[in-house]
């Protein structure tokens, strides 16, 4: 149970090597936090993530095998994680960015990305929501993206997967109202992480730490949506209302 | 068949950490047995009036039993009372006073239940003389995990007494208390004869309290926001039940605590009016209005024991984020921790209402989770939104533990398991009794999960 001073005692990270997720775990680090489960495919990156958190004094860090695309395995994974004790925060942080041109050249790649970003997330979100409802408390934090708010020419495949995820999470938030469980949808702009290191940062770009701080603030306030940076809320509101002919010509 | 269950979001008095449970109203012992024997994987917990501050009376995802319909009271000729666990003290007090009796122990609110008083082993202003509520319990009826209704008598077999003692202060984790027989005390009038002393600083206050044993009731209200030379300034009130010859005839009918709820209810406020400025002003005013020294003042039982009961829902004044109360007990040798706590919290400018300082008498060594231990106890209310509060309280925990002290489970909403285990050396004995009587862990609470009790 997250305590009266907003300190979770346990966190499950789905996509346990995500820079944003690890920054969020660090931002939620406290003497009250005693269990962190990093769910990810076995890799050097996962080992490093565990070692890094342990070195930073995070208690009770364990790794479990998780493949977002293998939805048939998700039920057992989540049941096991919840049967080891209540989870105060479930962070859905996995996703692939891909390359728009590659997606258009090889639609199979686009399908694979959608399998992870949308279908995989759908699978874990619905299951986690059920477990959170059963325990009567806890927050599902879903890393969406402003890319899902209005599809752009330059990355509409990725954007469409996030649009699906964002709709799912928003609907789930309403479904869980009054259940004791909550959903926090996080909509960052361009985040400078390993996933985007090959790209030129867009305006209003942020770091993983800034996203993490926004998540912590959102959890504290009980928000249902946070934009990172906060100014992105206004920007996206403007972009959503631009006439298509204008929007298409924007260099974004 | 148990009465209708309704999914309900529950919080404690501090309104900080809600969880949803199936709230089941029990009307009789059979309802309790049925609920206990059909509890699901998330278990069951009895809830009293919900006046513990944190998550002690919550059971997220499980069943929470509401016993408020089980409030039958019988006053026996020997002065004892037998009360259903759901009986509110506010209902008991008028019945007792009509017979010239009073509660053996009462906390600072009468809006709690008898079951809750046993489960939290509550203390009052007379702890240094009379001990906690549990010291006055003759027997309890406890529905255990196997569905048995056990009468645990103080004079019964050793095993029963051990379970009785574990249940006193056991936070509802040994079973569901359905009925309690306890001793009452004489209160020939509805008044207390009060002595008031105002102390300009903590040293003066604590030395005034050295002869507390000469009074049945004693409590000091401390200005938790005063700093520097005024740190720990406070008003000590001590008293005795007034005798009939103390009370003028025209006053004799006054002072009786009513069974009614508060006269005034705090509305839901969007922004908390409690901040450093308003509370500093309040503390200042309250300190100044107290007489430097006054003796033999007649004060009604209600204003003496239940000053805050006049304002219903005062917890809502803290706003949406809620508040918590930090209450610890330390042995006499650890009295310095009181100063440290006031320094730290006043120093960070935490806005706090009147804090309470009290002397404790001997604790209940036989009750492994009963809070009071001989020495000092300090209780401070703080808004949960106070910046830096988590780290400050974590640090104070260290001071409390190194002084051999402990935190009060009924107030806790932020401790970690190791702090509780270190403060309650008999926790292992509690666990062993609990696992014997409830091997499958039917009785659980958000508190017991969070603190790994």
- Beta-carbon separation of B54 and A4 below 8 A: yes
Mean pLDDT value of segment A158-184: 96
Cβ-based neighbour number of residue B229 at 10 Å: 8
Does residue A175 have a pLDDT over 90?
yes
Residue B57 to residue B69: CA distance in whole angstroms: 17
In a domain, A25, yes or no: yes
- Residue among A3, A85, A136 whose CB faces B61 most closely: A136
Give Cα A194 to chain centroid, integer Å. 15
- Beta-carbon separation of B19 and A32 below 8 A: no
Cis, peptide link before residue A229, omega less than 30° from 0: yes
Decide: B368 and B426 in contact? Cβ < 8 Å: yes
Contacts of B227 (CB under 8 A, 6+ apart): B343, B346, B347
Mean pLDDT value of segment A236-250: 87
Mean pLDDT value of segment A118-131: 98
Decide: B53 and B325 in contact? Cβ < 8 Å: yes
Measured in angstroms, the CA of A104 and the nearest CA of chain B are apart by 47
Residue B128 to residue B186: CA distance in whole angstroms: 18
Tokens of B87: 């009986």
Active site residue A118: no
Residue B201 to residue B228: CA distance in whole angstroms: 9
Measured in angstroms, the CA of B330 and the nearest CA of chain A are apart by 23
Residue B139 to residue B101: CA distance in whole angstroms: 19
Say what the pLDDT of residue B259 is. 65
- Beta-carbon separation of A5 and B390 below 8 A: yes
Say what the pLDDT of residue A99 is. 94
Identify which of B71, B67, B103, B75 has the alpha carbon closest to the alpha carbon of residue B87: B71
Helix axes A19-27, A208-221, angle to 10 degrees: 50
| B451 contact residues in A (CB cutoff 8 A) | none
- Alpha-helical regions (H) of B222-380: 276-289, 301-305, 336-347
Residue A191 to residue A210: CA distance in whole angstroms: 9
Query: B315 to each of B109, B262, B283, how far by Cα in Å?
Result: 13, 13, 17
Q: Which of A103, A118, A158, A227 is catalytic?
A: A158
- Residue among B20, B54, B416 whose CB faces A31 most closely: B416
Structural domain for A31, as ranges = 10-249
Tokens of A41: 């495919």
| A2 contact residues in B (CB cutoff 8 A) | 17
In a domain, A2, yes or no: no
- B275 or A176, higher pLDDT: A176
Backbone angles phi, psi at B174, to 5 degrees: -100, -15
Residue B21 to residue A149: CA distance in whole angstroms: 36
Measured in angstroms, the CA of B444 and the nearest CA of chain A are apart by 12
- Beta-carbon separation of A5 and B389 below 8 A: yes
> Which residue of A lies nearest to B10 if distances are taken between CA atoms?
A180
Kindly compute the dihedral angle of the four CA atoms of residues B52, B53, B55, B58, in this order, to the nearest 10 degrees: 50
Q: Half-sphere exposure (CA, 13 Å, Cβ side) for B421?
A: 9
Query: A45 to each of A69, A194, B50, how far by Cα in Å?
Result: 18, 11, 47
Say what the pLDDT of residue B261 is. 64
| B42 contact residues in A (CB cutoff 8 A) | 134-136
Decide: B427 and B169 in contact? Cβ < 8 Å: no
Decide: B325 and B369 in contact? Cβ < 8 Å: no
- Residue among A5, A9, A86 whose CB faces B384 most closely: A5
Query: A151 to each of A102, A103, A114, B222, B307, how far by Cα in Å?
Result: 17, 15, 15, 61, 61
Decide: B97 and B76 in contact? Cβ < 8 Å: no
- Beta-carbon separation of A32 and B416 below 8 A: yes
Say what the pLDDT of residue B353 is. 77
- Give all strands (DSSP E) within B248-343, no chain letters: 264-265, 293-300, 311-312, 323-330
Q: In the CATH scheme, what architecture does the domain B73-187 have? A: 2-Layer Sandwich (3.30)
Farthest-apart Cα atoms in chain A, separation? 53
Q: What is the mean pLDDT of each run of 10 residues along chain B (453 residues)?
A: 74 95 96 97 97 98 97 96 98 94 96 98 97 98 98 97 98 98 95 96 96 95 92 95 88 67 69 80 85 92 88 82 95 96 88 89 96 97 92 97 98 98 98 98 98 97
- Beta-carbon separation of A1 and B19 below 8 A: yes
Name B176's bridge partners.
B143
- Beta-carbon separation of B414 and A5 below 8 A: yes
Q: Does B9 touch chain A (CB under 8 A)?
A: yes
Residues of A with CB under 8 A from a CB of B: 1-7, 9, 30-32, 34, 85-86, 133-137, 178-181
- Alpha-helical regions (H) of B24-63: 29-37
Q: Which H/E stretch holds residue B430?
A: helix B427-437
Say what the pLDDT of residue B1 is. 43
For residue A184, give the CATH number of its domain: 3.40.50.720
Backbone angles phi, psi at B168, to 5 degrees: -75, 110
Does residue A52 have a pLDDT over 90?
yes
Decide: B447 and A9 in contact? Cβ < 8 Å: no
Parse chain B into domains and list their residue ranges. Answer: 73-187, 191-263+270-414
Q: Does B239 touch chain A (CB under 8 A)?
A: no
Say what the pLDDT of residue B320 is. 83
Identify which of B64, B15, B73, B70 has the alpha carbon closest to the alpha carbon of residue B44: B64
- Torsion over CA: A46, A77, A217, A211 (sign): positive
| A178 contact residues in B (CB cutoff 8 A) | 7, 9, 20
Q: In the CATH scheme, what architecture does the domain B191-263+270-414 have? A: 3-Layer(aba) Sandwich (3.40)
Question: What burial letters (b/e) apply to B120-147, b meaning 16+ CB within 10 Å?
Answer: bbbbbbbbbebbbbbbbbbbbbbbbbee
DSSP string covering B60-101: TTSEEEE-TT---EEE-TTS-EEEETT-BHHHHHHHHHHTTE
In a domain, A1, yes or no: no
Identify which of B200, B26, B212, B42 has the alpha carbon closest to the alpha carbon of residue B125: B212
Q: Which H/E stretch holds residue A124?
A: helix A121-135
Domain count, chain A: 1
- Residue among A30, A34, A135 whose CB faces B60 most closely: A135
Reported for B73-82, long-range contacts at CB under 8 A and 24+ positions apart, including other chains, are B75/B99, B75/B101, B75/B184, B76/B181, B79/B183, B79/B184, B79/B186, B80/B138, B80/B181, B80/B182, B80/B183, B80/B184, B81/B181, B81/B182, B81/B184, B82/B179, B82/B180, B82/B181
Tokens of B136: 């006055």
Q: Does B39 touch chain A (CB under 8 A)?
A: no
Does residue A36 have a pLDDT over 60?
yes
- Beta-carbon separation of A85 and B449 below 8 A: yes
Does residue A146 have a pLDDT over 60?
yes
Tokens of B310: 């006049």
Mean pLDDT value of segment A84-102: 96
- Average pLDDT over chain A reads 95
């Amino acid at each position: 149970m997250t305590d009266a001073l907003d300190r979770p005692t346990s966190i499950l990270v789905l996509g346990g090597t995500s820079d944003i997720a690890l920054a969020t775990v660090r931002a939620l680090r406290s003497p009250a936090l005693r269990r962190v489960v990093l769910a990810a495919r076995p890799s050097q990156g996962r080992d490093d993530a565990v070692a890094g958190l342990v070195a930073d004094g995070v208690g009770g860090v364990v790794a479990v095998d998780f493949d977002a695309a293998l939805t048939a395995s998700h039920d057992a994974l989540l049941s096991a994680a919840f049967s080891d004790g209540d989870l105060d925060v479930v962070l859905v942080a996995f996703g692939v960015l891909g390359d728009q041109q590659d997606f258009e050249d090889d639609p199979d790649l686009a399908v694979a990305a959608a399998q992870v970003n949308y279908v995989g997330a759908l699978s874990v979100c619905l299951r986690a929501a059920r477990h959170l409802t059963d325990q009567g408390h806890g927050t599902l934090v879903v890393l969406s993206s402003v890319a899902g708010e209005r599809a752009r020419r330059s990355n509409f495949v990725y954007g469409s997967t996030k649009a699906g995820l964002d709709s799912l999470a928003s609907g789930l938030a309403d479904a869980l109202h009054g259940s004791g469980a909550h959903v926090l949808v996080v909509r960052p702009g361009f985040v400078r992480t390993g996933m985007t290191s090959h790209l030129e940062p867009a305006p209003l770009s942020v770091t993983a730490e800034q996203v993490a701080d926004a998540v912590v603030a959102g959890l504290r306030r009980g928000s249902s949506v946070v934009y990172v940076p906060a100014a992105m809320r206004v920007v996206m509101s403007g972009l959503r209302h631009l006439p298509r002919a204008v929007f298409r010509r924007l260099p974004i | 068949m148990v009465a209708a269950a309704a999914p309900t979001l529950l919080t404690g008095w501090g309104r900080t950490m809600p969880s949803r449970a199936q709230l089941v109203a029990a009307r009789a012992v059979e309802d309790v047995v049925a609920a206990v024997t059909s509890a699901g994987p998330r278990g069951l917990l009895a809830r009293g009036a919900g006046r513990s501050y944190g998550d002690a009376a919550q059971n997220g995802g499980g069943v929470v039993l509401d016993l408020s319909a089980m409030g039958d009271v019988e006053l026996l000729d020997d002065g004892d009372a037998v009360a259903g666990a759901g009986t509110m003290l506010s209902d008991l007090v008028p019945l007792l006073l009509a017979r010239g009796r009073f509660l053996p122990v009462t906390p600072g609110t009468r809006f709690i239940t008898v079951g809750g008083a046993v489960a939290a082993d509550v203390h009052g202003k007379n702890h240094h003389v009379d001990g906690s509520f549990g010291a006055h319990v003759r027997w309890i009826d406890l529905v255990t995990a196997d569905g048995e209704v056990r009468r645990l008598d103080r004079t019964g077999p050793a095993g029963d007494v051990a379970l009785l003692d574990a249940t006193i202060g056991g936070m509802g984790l040994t079973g569901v208390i359905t009925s309690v027989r306890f001793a009452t005390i004489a209160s020939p009038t509805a008044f207390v004869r009060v002595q008031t002393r105002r102390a300009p600083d903590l040293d003066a206050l604590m030395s005034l309290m050295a002869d507390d044993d000469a009074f049945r009731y004693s409590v000091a209200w401390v200005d938790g926001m005063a700093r520097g030379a005024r740190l720990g300034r406070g008003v000590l009130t001590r008293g005795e039940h007034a005798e009939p010859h103390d009370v003028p005839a025209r006053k004799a009918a006054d002072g009786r605590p009513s069974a009614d709820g508060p006269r005034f209810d705090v509305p839901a406020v969007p922004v908390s009016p409690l901040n450093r400025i308003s509370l500093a002003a309040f503390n200042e005013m309250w300190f100044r209005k107290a007489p430097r020294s006054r003796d033999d003042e007649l004060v009604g039982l209600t204003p003496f024991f239940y000053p805050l009961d006049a304002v219903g829902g005062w917890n809502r004044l803290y706003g949406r984020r809620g508040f918590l109360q930090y209450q610890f007990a330390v042995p006499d040798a650890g009295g310095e921790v009181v100063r440290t706590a006031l320094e730290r919290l006043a120093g960070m400018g935490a806005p706090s209402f009147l804090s309470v300082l009290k002397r404790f008498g001997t604790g209940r060594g036989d009750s492994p989770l009963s809070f009071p231990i001989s020495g000092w106890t300090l209780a401070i209310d703080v808004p949960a939104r106070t910046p830096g509060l988590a780290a400050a309280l974590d640090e104070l925990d260290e001071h409390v533990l190194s002084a051999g002290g402990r935190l009060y489970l009924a107030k806790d909403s932020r401790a970690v398991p190791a702090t509780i285990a270190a403060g309650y050396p008999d926790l292992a004995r509690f666990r062993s009794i609990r696992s014997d009587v409830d091997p499958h862990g039917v009785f659980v609470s958000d508190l017991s999960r969070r603190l790994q009790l």
